[in-house]
Structure 1
Amino acid sequence: MSNPVVGFIGIGYMGRGIGANILKAGFPLVVVAHRNRGPVEELVAQSATEAASVAELAAQSEIIHICVSGSPQVEAVISGEGGIVANAKAGSVVIDCSTSDPVSTAHVAETLAEKGISMADAPLGGTPANAADGTLGAMVGADAETFARIEPVLRAWANNIMHLGPVGMGHKMKLINNFIALGNAALLSEAMAISRKSGLSIEQFHQVIGTSRMRNGFYDTFMKWTLEHDENAHRFSITNAHKDMRYLSNLATSVGAVNPVQSAIRNNLGAMEAAGQGERYVPMLADFIAAMNGLEPEGDA
């Protein structure tokens, strides 16, 4: 039996690596360009086929990945005359790898099901480097039959695949994961500002925290900005982080959960975006919190 044709919408930082690994695993790949043609051209040079539109990609594909910035963008490629619902074959599967709003995901899954199209959510855990070497995590929500169909494709680009239950569970877990990560970002930023105002240097802060049980993988990439001004170590924008925390607030409201700590984190990110710094990366929250405390960015003082 030949491998199913895989479509990929959203060839960006993560998608270029995922797409390359899908091809390496022997799956025919169809891609569509959006803003940046560079990654698409790279994949076409590796034997991918370029579709002229989402509609054309949907008609050609059996398993369709979506990896875009959020639920409005997912809904846009699903709906309308040029979308997946109107053009994909019954029996196809849509895998949403975006960090999406689970409330929206439930609605999208129902819309697809009405056309005989299955849905899974498989948001990503990891970095573009992990995408390139096929070592991402995938938090998957899907019924058992759909998961069995897509697992071979997931294994092309992920080495840690967690099937968490029915559709929507992956997006819920991803938001909780990001809540913990962004909580660390807010906590570290505020702690560094207090340290500096108390007369402790960032080097002293790192000497203690960076050699303690509180050091982890997130700490290492987050601190590279403050310690080394390496802006590429943790390329996750404030705008995207704020979006994720709005989605988590929506989820908390929908299940009746109390979330005072998460609200404070969301407001920190919202303040930085409102100040016109939404395209800066999450580690640069340390600079924003420092400025709120009357401090210059570390290294500029």
Structure 2
Amino acid sequence: MTRAKTSSSLAPKRGEQRIGLIGAGRMGTGIGISLLRHQTELHIKANKNRFGADRLTGAGAHEHPTISNLARHVSVVVLSLPSSLEVEAVCLGQNGLFVHMPRGSLIIDCSTSYPASTVALAEQAQERGLSFVDAPVTRSPEQAELGLLNAVVGSSEKLFPLVRRILADFCETVLHVGDVGQGHKLKLVYNGMTMGIAAVAAEVCQLARGVDVDLVTLRSLVSRGSTNNGIFQAFVGFLVGESPDVLAISIANSAKDIEYAVRLAAASAVPVPVLAAAAHKLAHAVDGGEGGLTLPHLSSS
């Protein structure tokens, strides 16, 4: 569903919605810029890194010192956080969203979170008169800023039109994939494949350099066949100095994503030995102190 609009009575007119954003990292900042472009009254809780918060406040966002203070000013909160641990931390506890948001409010988790945590949070939110849905996104921070992300939504049929309307301000494509938790399941399957390919592409690049095969020549050959893929192309572009900023996701976040995918498989008794091996490679890179580097550095380690 691409930028579909809804006539639902749940959806306020554009410009009337007060939306909170928690997680002003690179992706969250892009999301916030898109929301502001659509005349949203945006309220933020900054990260430790001030860059995103300064950009957003400079563009008109209202900054709050605490989550509880932000929660009292909005009816919708969008989360863009590293993992379920951070999502749980901002939702639960005496200073969290669940205590301080008004009844009838909505929380949209655009993070890559663990589905069981998502479902548990949704149940606790419902007990407090709130709605909690998952809407993990794909694509880059740059595409977030242009309003070109893809979102996969886990929510009730009744709530989806409102969720879609909010997401349409920063997403090109919004897909409803089932009840709460299904969005995060789909994202983990997707990211499992992505990071699995990344692990293989990294080792192929290392192998090529180790046996004196020219990477540009290898890229030319791969580009002509069905093996071609964007991650391999990005890694080669990085290694030959053409694209130093490509695939800006960190190795630590990549390791978390594929670890979640492997954990989900284990919980469902699905054997995934290849993905487990890829997860081990990424975890090893994190243990070696490379977690803060971007994913293409995996091909040069």
Structure 2 length-normalised TM:
0.91
Partner Cα distance (1:246, 1:183) in 2: 11
Alignment correspondent of 2:168 = 155
Identify the residue that residue 266 of structure 1 maps to in structure 2: 279
Q: Once the two structures are aligned, what percentage of the paired residues are identical?
A: 31
Q: 1:266 deviation in Å?
A: 0.3
The answer as to 2:104 corresponding to 1:91 is: yes
- Larger displacement relative to structure 2 (272-281 or 216-225): 216-225
Higher share of residues assigned helix:
1
Per mean C-alpha deviation after superposition, the further-off stretch among 70-79 and 142-151 is 142-151
> CA separation in 2, counterparts of 1:199 and 1:235?
28
TM superposition score normalised by structure 1: 0.91
8 Å Cα contact 2:235-2:299 kept in structure 1:
no
Is the 2:29–2:52 Cα contact (8 Å) retained in structure 1? Answer: yes
- Which residue of the partner structure matches residue 188 of structure 1? 201
**Which residue in the other structure is 1:16 paired with?**
29
Deviation at 1:229, TM superposition (A): 6.1
Q: Is contact 1:93-1:117 (8 Å) kept?
A: yes
- Which residue of the partner structure matches residue 210 of structure 1? 223
Cα distance in 2 between the residues matched to 1:253 and 1:157: 34
**Is 1:239 aligned with 2:286?**
no
The answer on whether the counterparts of 1:231 and 1:281 sit within 8 Å (CA) in structure 2 is no
Equivalent in the alignment of 1:295: none
Structure 1: gaps (5+ residues):
289-301
Q: Distance in 1 between matches of 2:214 and 2:221?
A: 11
CA deviations on 1:20-64 (whole Å, 9 max, x unpaired) are 111221221111112122322222222221122100111111110
Structure 2 gap ranges (5+): 1-11
Query: CA shift at 1:225, angstroms?
Result: 1.4
* 1:122 corresponds to: 135
* Aligned residue in 1 for 2:290: 277
- What is the aligned-residue RMSD (CA, Å)? 1.5
Which whole-Å CA distance do the structure 2 matches of 1:105 and 1:277 have between them? 29
129-138 or 213-222, which deviates more: 213-222
CA distance in 2: counterparts of 1:239 and 1:40, whole angstroms: 22
Q: Is residue 82 of structure 1 aligned with residue 90 of structure 2?
A: no
Name the counterpart of 2:51. Answer: 38
CA distance in 2, matches of 1:161, 1:118: 18
Q: Aligned partners of 2:49 and 2:171: how far apart in 1? A: 24
Deviations along 1:246-277, whole A, 9 cap, x unmatched? 21122112212111111000001011111111
Contact 1:119 1:146 in 2 (8 A): no
